[in-house]
């Protein structure tokens, strides 16, 4: 039996006591290397230095006043909207998120935005009753929730007859993909009920009346702050894997709505992988458009994808896995494995046995069944499914092709058995495949010449072939899903959901991670410009007095370094140029980059970003 909540008078007395204690001292947040921020109060100020007594332990610290952040009164603890805080600073924002998370509230508004902290567990927040609770309600009528954002997009689309977009962004592991699925779940549910009376059935599952309704489901400890907060308390969304639908809601869904929902398991199998930060990390970005007819029903859907991390097919960290589908096929493929000539286990394939093979909480055999059911629901024929898995198997067989060297350092293939399997699956002649790998014909001027490959060059070509095969297959997969989700009905407007690839900063960042981070920063600047800069221009037109704030062009020099073209070219243009130069290497590319960007900038311009050489001459920036 749940404990009874304190009476309102007791809560009021406790709040009054806390406020009285707060008023007696000048409370501040003190930066701390270990805990991020600690509470304390200032007892003495001299010049620009303050003497602070730490609340925990009574230690006295002397710090510059600019390093201290003002603390909000206790009445602002656990506030639903961060924008309501009197003192809006990083320490206060993190503290409020920490308090709300500790009391079971993973969602918090920040003005127009919704901040979500990943609980890394399933919470009862997405049932059919919760969908009804947010249906047709204003934002301030319910606690913060991802459903409220989806509801606002739906209402705006209907009232303004304009397309809407929901941007879901955050660090890798923040839960962006799960948030995307919750938005799609909500839109599918309310579109199905577009003409049905809204009669919430709160008896079916718990309603979202407040933190106490699911407090027992979350950790009792609060969020760490500073660096540890960024690592474990990722801000964006929920990581629970529950569908969130009751049986009644599922039964009401039509074929199109079910196909839209079932597209997710397919995309996750072929495009998601286990990483060091996330067991189900999207290794690609996607923009999903859900189209609606004038009467409010779903009329179709379309998926755009970009930045697939295809290098993961051939190489990755030892602590990570390749894409889920490889392990699902190996564990649950059954007789299909014989058709694909896969007669071993995960440990027998070079592209799988050099890294992690199993993940806690993931049953690859069960996931295989879900994938097959999803493919059937979306409408993939048996032949189309076989074509998909033929590419997956071919990649594994290519990884097992052994290349050795002759005395003259020419590549040779001593055992053609693996190549025979590849050629059988892809339907190509063995002799032509072998020639293309070991002694390809290349165009030199106007003539075709045969060029012998070294062992390393042949291995690199096989890796490039695998990456290209997988990327082309993934593109075909998305195109096939789009054809299934397209309907010839009348389409009026759409709601778009952007699930952008997560940004990460490693000690050594690969080319794909550079592009992901670059894309995130470009999007952030575009977003800042439209949300903040244009808003401040509106203030100026209306003669509103305010202190101008410069939002978000702080990384423009780095963006210029990457994308500039013209007289001074950036990283991407220089890379294009080097790729067509004979005998170009990582070192020649890095040296040219230094020569172009290491000079002093013209007068009045900001300093260029620092470029340094990583292992084997690879270029890196800070």
| 567 vs 565: CA distance, rounded Å | 7
| 499 vs 285: CA distance, rounded Å | 6
Adjacent-strand bridge partners of 253: none
Residue 426 CB neighbours (<10 A): 16
Residue 173 annotated in active site: yes
Given the residues 96, 108, 246, 281, the one annotated as active site: 281
Given the residues 239, 282, 291, 493, the one annotated as active site: 282
* 526, two tokens: 């575009």
* 437, two tokens: 């790998």
| Residue 463 φ then ψ, to 5° | -65, -45
Give, in order, the Cα–Cα distances in Å from 507 to each of 33, 34, 298, 558, 615.
Answer: 21, 21, 45, 17, 11
Q: What is the three-class DSSP state of 550?
A: coil
| 538 vs 102: CA distance, rounded Å | 39
Residue 502 annotated in active site: yes
| 622 vs 611: CA distance, rounded Å | 7
| Residue 25 φ then ψ, to 5° | -135, 165
Residue 248 annotated in active site: no
Given the residues 51, 320, 350, 504, the one annotated as active site: 504
416: closest CA among 431, 395, 428? 431
Residue 105 annotated in active site: no
Given the residues 172, 180, 275, 322, the one annotated as active site: 172
Given the residues 502, 520, 521, 570, the one annotated as active site: 502
Residue 278 annotated in active site: yes
**Structural contact between residues 285 and 305, judged by C-beta atoms closer than 8 angstroms:** yes
Residue 241 annotated in active site: no
| Residue 60 φ then ψ, to 5° | -105, 125
* 428, two tokens: 């190509």
Given the residues 108, 278, 280, 558, the one annotated as active site: 278
Phi/psi zone of residue 397: left (φ > 0), alpha (ψ -120 to 50 degrees), beta?
Answer: alpha
| 459 vs 393: CA distance, rounded Å | 18
Instruction: Name the one residue in this structure whose structure tokens are 């979350």.
Output: 218
Given the residues 96, 169, 177, 180, the one annotated as active site: 177
Task: Tell whether the torsion through CA atoms of 28, 33, 36 and 38 is positive or negative.
Answer: negative
Question: Count of H helices and E strands in the chain?
Answer: 20, 19
179: closest CA among 168, 193, 190? 168
| Residue 442 φ then ψ, to 5° | -125, 155
Burial of 474: CB neighbours in 10 Å, binned 0-12, 13-18, 19+: buried
Given the residues 173, 285, 332, 333, the one annotated as active site: 173
| 52 vs 36: CA distance, rounded Å | 16
Residue 118 annotated in active site: no
If you ran DSSP here, which 8-state letter would residue 607 be given? P
Residue 177 annotated in active site: yes
Residues with a catalytic annotation lie at: 172-173, 177, 278, 281-282, 502, 504
């Amino acid at each position: 039996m749940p404990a009874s909540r304190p009476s309102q008078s007791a809560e009021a007395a406790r709040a009054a006591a806390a406020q009285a204690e707060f008023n007696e001292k000048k409370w501040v947040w003190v930066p701390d290397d270990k805990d991020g921020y600690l509470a304390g109060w200032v007892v003495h100020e001299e010049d620009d230095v303050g003497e602070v007594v730490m609340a925990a332990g009574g230690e006295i610290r002397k710090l510059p006043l600019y390093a201290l952040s003002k603390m909000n009164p206790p009445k602002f603890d656990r506030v639903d909207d961060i924008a309501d805080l009197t003192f809006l600073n990083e320490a206060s924002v993190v503290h409020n998120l920490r308090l709300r998370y500790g009391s079971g509230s993973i969602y918090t508004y920040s003005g127009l935005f919704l901040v979500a902290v990943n609980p890394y567990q399933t919470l009862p927040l997405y049932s059919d009753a919760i969908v009804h609770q947010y249906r047709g309600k204003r934002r301030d009528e319910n606690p913060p929730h991802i459903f409220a954002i989806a509801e606002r997009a739906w209402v705006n689309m209907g009232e303004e007859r304009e397309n809407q977009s929901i941007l879901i962004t955050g660090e890798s592991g923040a839960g962006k993909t799960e948030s995307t699925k919750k938005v799609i779940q909500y839109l599918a549910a309310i579109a199905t009920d577009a003409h049905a009376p809204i009669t919430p059935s709160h008896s079916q599952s718990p309603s979202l009346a407040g933190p106490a309704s699911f407090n027992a489901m979350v950790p009792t400890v609060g969020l760490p702050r500073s660096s540890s907060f960024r690592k474990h308390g990722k801000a964006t969304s929920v990581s629970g894997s529950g569908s969130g639908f009751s049986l009644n809601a599922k039964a009401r869904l039509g074929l199109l709505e079910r196909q839209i929902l079932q597209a997710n398991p397919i995309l996750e199998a072929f495009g998601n992988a286990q990483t060091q930060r996330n067991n189900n990390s999207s290794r690609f970005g996607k923009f999903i458009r859900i189209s609606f007819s004038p009467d409010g029903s779903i009329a179709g859907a379309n998926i755009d994808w970009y930045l697939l991390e295809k290098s993961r097919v051939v190489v990755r960290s030892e602590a990570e896995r390749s894409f889920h589908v490889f392990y699902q096929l190996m564990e649950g493929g059954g007789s299909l494995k014989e058709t694909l000539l896969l007669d071993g286990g995960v440990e027998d394939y070079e592209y799988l046995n050099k890294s992690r093979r199993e993940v806690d909480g993931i049953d690859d055999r069960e996931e295989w069944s879900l994938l097959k059911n999803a493919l059937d629901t979306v409408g993939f024929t048996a032949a189309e499914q076989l074509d998909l898995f033929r590419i997956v198997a071919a990649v594994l067989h290519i990884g097992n092709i052994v290349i050795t060297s002759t005395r003259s350092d020419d590549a040779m293939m001593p055992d053609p058995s693996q190549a025979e399997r590849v050629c059988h699956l892809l339907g190509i002649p063995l002799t032509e495949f072998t020639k293309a790998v070991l002694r390809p014909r290349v165009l030199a001027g106007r003539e075709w010449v045969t060029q012998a490959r070294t062992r390393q060059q042949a291995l690199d070509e096989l890796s490039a072939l695998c990456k290209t095969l997988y990327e082309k297959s993934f593109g075909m997969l998305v195109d096939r899903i789009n054809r299934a989700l397209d309907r010839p009905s009348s389409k009026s407007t759409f709601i778009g959901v952007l699930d952008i690839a997560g940004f990460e900063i490693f000690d050594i960042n690969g080319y794909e991670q550079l592009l992901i981070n670059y894309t995130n920063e470009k999007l952030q600047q575009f977003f800042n410009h439209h949300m903040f800069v244009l808003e401040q221009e509106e203030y100026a037109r209306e003669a509103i007095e305010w202190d101008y704030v410069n939002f978000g062009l702080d990384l423009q020099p780095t963006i210029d370094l990457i994308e500039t073209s013209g007289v001074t070219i950036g990283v991407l243009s220089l890379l294009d140029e080097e790729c067509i130069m004979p005998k170009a290497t990582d070192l020649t590319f890095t040296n040219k980059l230094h020569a172009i960007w290491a000079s002093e900038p013209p007068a009045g311009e900001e300093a260029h970003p620092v470029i340094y050489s990583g292992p084997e001459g690879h270029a890196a920036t800070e």
